[in-house]
A and B are shown apart, each in its own frame.
Chain A
Amino acid sequence: AAGVIQSPRHLIKEKRETATLKCYPIPRHDTVYWYQQGPGQDPQFLISFYEKMQSDKGSIPDRFSAQQFSDYHSELNMSSLELGDSALYFCASRTGRFVRGSGANVLTFGAGSRLTVL
């Protein structure tokens, strides 16, 4: 079964550089969520999109921006990188349309992109 695809899996950047992470949701999933997980921390919600529109915003720094494209993939852009941005970034997807049945609206996570800022 197709899963959520994230790229790159690993990324090393210098302070003040920019980085772009990509997320390809499960086919027919129209809702994408971005989470940031620091070392030994729980995932923190950053931002979400439904049908290419931002649907919710969490603790996302102003230096970060994201969007969802017409093919439903999403990109997280991070600028002026700081050491504290080093983390695992997870994308998750689900369908925003109500589908009866257990698990139909489950949030499925990708394997994550590990960003290291030096």
Chain B
Amino acid sequence: QQQVKQSPQSLIVQKGGISIINCAYENTAFDYFPWYQQFPGKGPALLIAIRPDVSEKKEGRFTISFNKSAKQFSLHIMDSQPGDSATYFCAARAKGATNKLIFGTGTLLAVQP
């Protein structure tokens, strides 16, 4: 059972456009929501993260929007560039315990020049 649902599975965006990836969760024990970027053959790399007491976090061209009541969060990539082409995973971590991350199913983003 997928604890963190992610959509879309793949996304094609023109250079300069906005890429939007959505995630939803059920477990209210989750208290930390990172996004990871993964290039082929590489390990996931942390992009940006948010805690549920904040509704939005922005770092450069990357923004996380968080809706606690709906249990949804999304990644927005502004001014998308070909170099952003990668697989993006949302993730969630339950408070306390061992801090393991539960990943979404991933979104393959292709930014066309």
Chain A contact residues, CB within 8 Å of chain B: 4, 31, 33, 40-45, 48, 50, 55-56, 58, 90, 92, 94, 96, 103, 105-112, 114
Residues of chain B within 8 A (CB-CB) of A44 are 103
Q: With A and B bound together, what is the CA distance between A63 and B34 in angstroms? A: 31
**Count of B interface residues, CB-CB < 8 Å:** 20
The answer to whether A90 and B100 have CB atoms under 8 Å apart is no
Which among A4, A58, A106, A112 is the interface contact of B100 at CB below 8 angstroms?
A58
> For the complex, is B44 an interface residue (Cβ under 8 Å from A)?
yes
CB-nearest residue of chain A relative to B98? Answer: A56
The answer to whether A109 and B99 have CB atoms under 8 Å apart is no
The answer to whether B42 and A107 have CB atoms under 8 Å apart is no
Q: Known contacts A56-B97, A58-B100: does B43 contact A90 (CB below 8 Å)?
A: yes
> For the complex, is B89 an interface residue (Cβ under 8 Å from A)?
yes
The answer to whether A31 and B42 have CB atoms under 8 Å apart is no
The answer to whether A45 and B100 have CB atoms under 8 Å apart is yes
The answer to whether A42 and B42 have CB atoms under 8 Å apart is no
Q: Is the interface of B mostly helix, strand, loop or mixed?
A: loop
Chain A nearest CB from B33 CB (Å) reads 13
Chain B nearest CB from A11 CB (Å) reads 14
Q: With A and B bound together, what is the CA distance between A96 and B105 in angstroms? A: 27
Contacts A42-B104, A90-B43, A112-B41 known; 5 new A-B pairs at CB < 8 A: A31-B98, A43-B89, A43-B103, A45-B102, A106-B34
Which among A42, A43, A55, A114 is the interface contact of B98 at CB below 8 angstroms?
A55
Q: With A and B bound together, what is the CA distance between A31 and B104 in angstroms? A: 22
> For the complex, is B12 an interface residue (Cβ under 8 Å from A)?
no
Residues of chain B within 8 A (CB-CB) of A92 are 43
Binary CB contact string for chain B from 61 to 101 against chain A (1 if under 8 A, 0 otherwise): 00000000000000000000000000001000000011111
Residues of chain A within 8 A (CB-CB) of B43 are 4, 90, 92, 109-112
